[in-house]
Every structure is written in C-alpha cells, then in structure tokens.
Amino acid sequence: MDKQKKKTKKIAKPLDESRAKRYTCIVCPTCCELETDGIEVNGARCPRGERFALQEMVMPLRFVTTSVRAQIPEGTMMIPVKTAYPVPMARVFEIMKEIKALRLSEIPPIGAKVTAGSAESPTEWIVTGEVE
Amino acid sequence: MTTHDHYNLIIIGGGPSGMSVAVGAAEAGLKRILLLERHPRLGGILNQCIHLGFGLSYFKEELTGTEYAFRYKKNLEETCTEVITGSFVHKLTPQKQVAFVCPEGEFVIPADHVVLATGCRERTREMLTTPGTRPAGIFTAGLAQEMVNIHGLLPGKNAVIIGSGDIGLIMARRMTLEGARVLAVMEILDHLSGLVRNKIQCLDDFGIPLYLRHEILEILGKNRVEAVRYRDNATGEVKELSCDTLLYSVGLIPERDLLIDAGIEPGNGYYVSGNADYVHDLVDRVTRDGERLGRSLSGS
C-alpha cells in the first residue's frame, strides 16, 4: 500500500507557476510547507501531505469535533463527538447548527454513531468519549 | 480501602502520565502499584480535549483526546494497578509516605517509589498582573474549554484571546463553532507560541486575526468585561477593543506543590513525570516518557 520511506530528499518537481498555491500541511505536527499546481505536490514528507494539498486546492475538508447534549433523568450531559468523515469547510457552520439542535435521550457508548441534520443530507457523527 | 499497607509504587495523578508510569512499572514486574486520582474518573486533561490531533505517534492514528484516554485506559486495566478515584493527596513525607483523603477516610501509605504525575496549571491574569478592573468574563483558556466541552456553557459572546498557546488557539475555534465571535488572538512575542497547524485550522480557517507583538495594557469594565486596552509594540500605537470575554492562554506551570511543601527534591525514590516535569507539546511523548520511567523502577 504505502510506498517505502524515501530517505533521500525529494527533488522539487516543476509546477505550473500560474496555478501554483502554497499550503501548510495540517495532517500532523510536522507542518510541511507544501506547494501544488493541482497535479504535482512539492514539500510533502509523506503521501498524506500530498493528498492534503491536492484536496485543499479543490475543496478544503475538515473533521468537526464538538459535544452534543444528552438529556437523561439525572440531568444534561455533554457527549463528545466527531464527524465520521471530513466535511467541506464551507458546510461547517451548517453542520454545527444541526448537531446543536440534536438532543439525545440516552448516553451512547464510545464509538456509537449519531445522525444529525435533515433526512436528505444527514451528517454522521461518532461518539468519542465515555461519560459517567 | 487499599489491599496492601505498603506499595512498590504510588502514583499521584491519573492523567496520561500517571497511567503510563503504571503501565511501564507493571511491565517491569512491579506488583503493588497504587494510582491516586482526585477526579471521579481517570484521563486527566484529555477528558476535556474533544479535538483531534492526539495519538498519531503512539497509536499511529489520529484520535481525539477523549479517544486517546479511553484507549490508554484499556492498557492500564490489563495491569495489576489499583486505582482510587476521588482521592486527594495532601502531604508527602521524606520517608516516602503518601497521605491522602478519599470518601472512605484518610490514609497514610508508604511506598518504595512515589511518582508525581500531577500535570501543570495554567498561568492566570493575576500572574501576568494585567492592570485594570476585576469584572466577570476573564477565564483561562483551559477553564473555558472545560465549560464548553464538558458543561455545555459558553463563557461569552465576544472574546479576545490573550496569548497564542495551543489551548487558546483550540478555544478560538471552539468558541467560534459554538456561535461566539473571537475578535483577535493577541501575542506579546513576535511569533506564535502554539503549533502552526493549530493556527491554520483554528484561526486562518475562520478568519480570526493573530496580532503578534501586541501587549494587553488594561482590562476595562465594571461588572462584566467591556473592553481591553492594548498596544501594538511594533508601532507603539495604543488602541481599545470592545469585548465581553477574555481567555488567557499564556503558559503552563508544572505542578509540584506537594514536593515543594514537603521540602523534598526529586530523587531518592521520588520522581516527577509528564507535564509536572516539563510541559510537553504532545501527549504521545508524555506516554512514552511515563512508560520509560515506569520500566526503570525496580521492585525492592
């Protein structure tokens, strides 16, 4: 699957300067400085960084994390959740509105799926923590 | 309460560091290990870290802080470690006796090794001695994080964040997602304190400005914060910014009061681990350091 680690420093590939854009990779704390023209990527120290740059150029995607309210007889509990997949940056506030409107009636276990939003375009969330 | 009247190892603090010391010590063959945690549950600060960015190095997977705590707790559960939650250590003695209170009563228990895994505490407005009034609406970033993520409370609507530490950056995004406006992050230094990836995904993604070389001069407001007066140290210009909330993210201080109060230096069976030793950027490193320390301890 993943190629072997390249020990030697990669040679910069020629880019189409008119389309080239710079990004700082946010995949991991290394924060590689990337440059891409949408076809080739320079500066990435791993394949995930290359994918990040190409995706960032067409449509930035982000995981969203928040906590959702569960109303149980003992009171209100906040349940930590993350989106099951990265969502378009442009939809982040809409997605937040949906999950904020949701009220769970029980405390789901860690790893459980929670669906928010409309039936036509639901967003799936995953419970990320235990609540006592 | 405790099954033994003497332990090979007593660990104070059940966050990522304390748990990893227990795991390492159990691997090294220590049998009597006691872990004391003051909160009702293990996990420490990870329990309020609902954001992603944890575990890339240790678990080879990007996890939230809460997921990391859950996973690591499984490792701890496989060991012989006895855990007492809701227990508060109030005194240490040079003879390596640990005095603590818990719902069952007060205990003084001796150990061969004592590890302080008590984490760190946030620097506050008082420690920076920011002049001005003392209105409501001033929080440390970590406290705000607990309010929002665990208690579902929003500290305010128009916030200024003082300092560009990671918790402040994470809270800039968190407050924005929850519907507050974050007007600026002000940093006195000429560079970011936190990780670059946090500036990008927490500030740049939401158009939140980062003011470098900006210094807070005064907090204004009678009952509630009304504004901050600040200076652009590059130009010397002084300005005011209306806001109702200030979050301080201005550094963390290792918590070692138990040792200091007892007049004990680390060594001679006393150890300090994790953020109580020095402030780490990544929990993965805390875990590795803690396991290493645990493995280095021998039963005697």
- The verdict on a CB contact (< 8 Å) between A28 and B281 is no
Taking one residue from A and the other from B, the number of pairs with CB-CB distance under 8 angstroms is 75
Q: Supply the pLDDT for residue A1.
A: 47
- Closest CB to B66: pick one of A62, A80, A93: A80
Count of structural domains within chain B: 2
Structural domain contains residue B15:
yes
- The verdict on a CB contact (< 8 Å) between A80 and B64 is yes
Are residue A48 and residue A71 in the same domain, yes or no?
Answer: no
- The verdict on a CB contact (< 8 Å) between B201 and A82 is no
B151 and A CB contact within 8 Å: yes
Q: Tell me the torsion sign for CA atoms B172, B177, B179, B183.
A: positive
Structural domain contains residue B237:
yes
Looking at per-residue pLDDT, the higher value among B26 and B267 belongs to B26
Tokens of A6: 């390249």
State CA A24 to chain mean position distance. Answer: 15
Give residue-wise pLDDT tens across range B89-118.
999 998 999 999 999 999 999 999 999 999
Are residue A25 and residue A79 in the same domain, yes or no?
Answer: no
3-state DSSP: chain A helix, strand, coil percent, rounded to 5?
Answer: 20, 35, 50
Looking at per-residue pLDDT, the higher value among A95 and A18 belongs to A95
Q: Supply the pLDDT for residue B1.
A: 63
Are residue A87 and residue A117 in the same domain, yes or no?
Answer: yes
Are residue A74 and residue A122 in the same domain, yes or no?
Answer: yes
Residues 23-82 of A with CB under 8 A from B: 24-26, 28-29, 31, 60, 62-67, 69, 76, 78, 80-82
Full domain range(s) for residue B167: 122-251
Residues 6+ apart with CB under 8 A from B128: B162, B216, B248, B250
Structural domain contains residue A9:
no
Are residue B260 and residue B112 in the same domain, yes or no?
Answer: yes
Q: Can you tell me the distance from the alpha carbon of B164 to that of B183, in angstroms, rounded to the nearest whole number?
A: 13
**b (16+ CB within 10 A) / e for B76-113:** beebebbbbbebebeebeeebbbebebeeeebebebbb
Contact between B262 and B241 (Cβ < 8 Å): no
Name the region of B260 (left: φ>0; alpha: ψ -120 to 50; beta: rest).
alpha
Q: Can you tell me the distance from the alpha carbon of B182 to that of B197, in angstroms, rounded to the nearest whole number?
A: 18
Q: Supply the pLDDT for residue A3.
A: 52
Q: State percent of chain B over pLDDT 70.
A: 99
Give residue-wise pLDDT tens across range A23-43.
999 988 889 999 999 999 999
Count of structural domains within chain A: 2
Full domain range(s) for residue A84: 65-127
Give residue-wise pLDDT tens across range B9-18.
999 999 999 9
Structural domain contains residue B235:
yes
Q: Tell me the torsion sign for CA atoms B21, B24, B30, B35.
A: positive
Residues of B in contact with A76 (CB under 8 A): 152
Structural domain contains residue B57:
yes
Alpha-carbon distances of B223 from A27, A66, B25, B133, rounded to whole Å: 43, 30, 51, 9
Smallest Cα distance from B69 to chain A, Å: 8
Residues of B in contact with A96 (CB under 8 A): 177-178
Q: Mean pLDDT lowest for which of A7-11, A89-93, B171-175?
A: A7-11
Reply yes or no on whether the pLDDT at A98 is more than 90.
yes
Are residue A53 and residue A78 in the same domain, yes or no?
Answer: no
Are residue A82 and residue A118 in the same domain, yes or no?
Answer: yes
Are residue B126 and residue B115 in the same domain, yes or no?
Answer: no
Reply yes or no on whether the pLDDT at A8 is more than 60.
no
Give residue-wise pLDDT tens across range B126-135.
999 999 999 9
Q: Mean pLDDT lowest for which of A3-12, B64-73, B247-256?
A: A3-12
Are residue A121 and residue A76 in the same domain, yes or no?
Answer: yes
Reply yes or no on whether the pLDDT at B187 is more than 70.
yes
- The verdict on a CB contact (< 8 Å) between B50 and A110 is no
Smallest Cα distance from B64 to chain A, Å: 7
Tokens of B124: 């506050």
Structural domain contains residue A16:
no
Q: Can you tell me the distance from the alpha carbon of B165 to that of B120, in angstroms, rounded to the nearest whole number?
A: 14
Q: Can you tell me the distance from the alpha carbon of B2 to that of B114, in angstroms, rounded to the nearest whole number?
A: 16
Q: State percent of chain B over pLDDT 90.
A: 96
Alpha-carbon distances of A130 from A80, B48, B81, rounded to whole Å: 8, 11, 21
Q: Which residue of B has its CA nearest to A30?
A: B197
B41 and A CB contact within 8 Å: yes
Residues 6+ apart with CB under 8 A from B188: B163, B213, B214, B215, B233
Q: Can you tell me the distance from the alpha carbon of B186 to that of A28, in angstroms, rounded to the nearest whole number?
A: 25
**Single-letter code of the amino acid located at A24:** T
Residues of A in contact with B151 (CB under 8 A): 78
In this structure, what is the dihedral angle of CA atoms B176, B211, B275, B253, given to the nearest 10 degrees?
Answer: -110
Q: How confident is the model at residue A10 (pLDDT cuts 50, 70, 90)?
A: low
Backbone angles phi, psi at A95, to 5 degrees: -65, -35
Looking at per-residue pLDDT, the higher value among A15 and B202 belongs to B202
How many CB atoms are closer than 10 A to CB A2? 7
- The verdict on a CB contact (< 8 Å) between A31 and B177 is no
Question: How big is the CA angle at A102 (ends A93 and A128), to the nearest 5 degrees?
Answer: 80
Give residue-wise pLDDT tens across range A70-79.
999 999 999 9
Q: Can you tell me the distance from the alpha carbon of B158 to that of B178, in angstroms, rounded to the nearest whole number?
A: 12
Query: Of the residues B251, B267, B283, which one is the last residue of a structural domain?
Result: B251
Q: Supply the pLDDT for residue A132.
A: 75
Structure letter (DSSP) for residue A11: P
pLDDT, mean over chain B: 96
Q: Can you tell me the distance from the alpha carbon of B6 to that of B269, in angstroms, rounded to the nearest whole number?
A: 14
Are residue A51 and residue A70 in the same domain, yes or no?
Answer: no
Packing angle of the helix pair B283-296, B65-77 (nearest 10 deg): 20
Q: Supply the pLDDT for residue A82.
A: 98
Q: Can you tell me the distance from the alpha carbon of B57 to that of A44, in angstroms, rounded to the nearest whole number?
A: 18
